[in-house]
Homo-oligomer: A and B are copies of this chain.
Amino acid sequence: MWSNSIGKAFVVSCFGESHGPVVGVTVDGCPAGLPLKVDDIQRALDLRIPQEKEVVSARREPDVVELLSGVFQDYTTGAPVTLHIRNKDVKSSDYESLKDLVRPGHADYPAKVKYGGFSDYRGGGRLSGRMTAAFVAAGAIAQKLLSTFGVEVLAYTFAIDGAQLENPPSVEAVKKITYENSMRCPDPATAEKMRQLVFSAKADGDSVGGVVECTALNLPVGVGEPLFDAIDSELAKILFGIPAVKGVEFGAGFQATRLKGSENNDQYVIKEGKVVTLTNNSGGVLGGMSTGMPLLLRVAFKPPSSIAKEQNTVNMSQMEEAKLGVKGRHDPCVVPKAVSVVQGMVAIGLVDLMTRGGMIPRVLKS
């Protein structure tokens, strides 16, 4: 009783392995009538991985999308949209030595115990960051759909190691600058500091973590359901599904625990005939529902577990202690790649909740 799907109404199911024939995804619940071409998805995938080769793994996948179903004459039909990406640049031999050694920080150990030796260990198998290519592809469909309702989702790097944005970035900066640098940070100066920290970690055979911030603009009021299908509940669930995530917070988040109620409450006023709040400590969420203010959330990514530095581990087949320096091609920091993943996943979650809430019809007007 387990599943590889997210969502209830807009259901995204992924399949494939890092070193198998494909990484793929099925989107079930997309309304009929959405204009969709393979290029819409290809473009999102092309942005996923920064071009600066020093800051990412040396594995180079062309990531060419093939659209298999659910689209007819460039419009969705309401049937499941399935697409996949063939894996090309696979070096499974790098992983043979890992058959028995469990890498610290990776899922190797619980996977080996849970699956009794049947799991595909090559490149992390099913548990590889490579799966996020599928999330980004599905996220591109979700974002295209949201845009027809005027909703925009924007993610960017908030912090890497000790370097972090000092001030909330403007929407304009986020849109213009984020993808201009390999750190995916809307402030060029901060981006440069981050870059140096990544370089430095890499030089040490080490890795660094960071925080992705994400906002959604123009959400209608009332997205998300009271209690359990809350907008924060559903997004948190999805976001913890991204490899390396260790924390999720909304609005003031953990900082809210140090504020007084009178400081933290977002007071209401009327502005241009609309009810708005003076502050946005809630991150646009009250009682599990969107308030109409910008949705704001942050996601904590741990430093990548694959590092060249030698670590203690255990050889599981001989049950004896061992040493390990992880070979293979790895990222010194996943945060830049994670930006488009967070953006796509939040979009998926929002479409799901808006569909459940009756805000997205079965058939879009042509």
Contact = CB atoms under 8 A, between A and B. Distances in A.
Interface string A270-281: 100101011001
Nearest to A113: B221
Contacts of A67: 21
A58 interface: no
Interface string A178-203: 00000000000000000000000100
Interface string A116-129: 11111010011100
A33 interface: yes
A263 B266 CA distance: 38
B114 A221 contact: yes
Contact of A3 (B11, B114, B119): B11
A294 interface: no
A173 interface: no
B264 A303 contact: yes
Tell me how many chains of this kind the complex includes: 4
A249 to B, nearest CB: 3
Contacts of A76: 118
A168 interface: no
A174 interface: no
A144 to B, nearest CB: 15
A311 interface: yes
B261 A307 contact: yes
Given A77-B118, A256-B300, A69 B236 contact: no
A275 to B, nearest CB: 5
A41 interface: no
A122 B76 CA distance: 15
Contact of A241 (B81, B222, B230): B230
A221 B175 CA distance: 43
Contact of A243 (B209, B237, B260, B287): B287
A268 B313 contact: yes
A266 B77 contact: no
9 contacts: A2-B225, A33-B115, A72-B120, A115-B362, A211-B257, A236-B236, A236-B248, A257-B302, A268-B313
- In order of increasing CB-CB distance, the 4 nearest A-B pairs are A107-B287, A114-B222, A247-B249, A207-B261
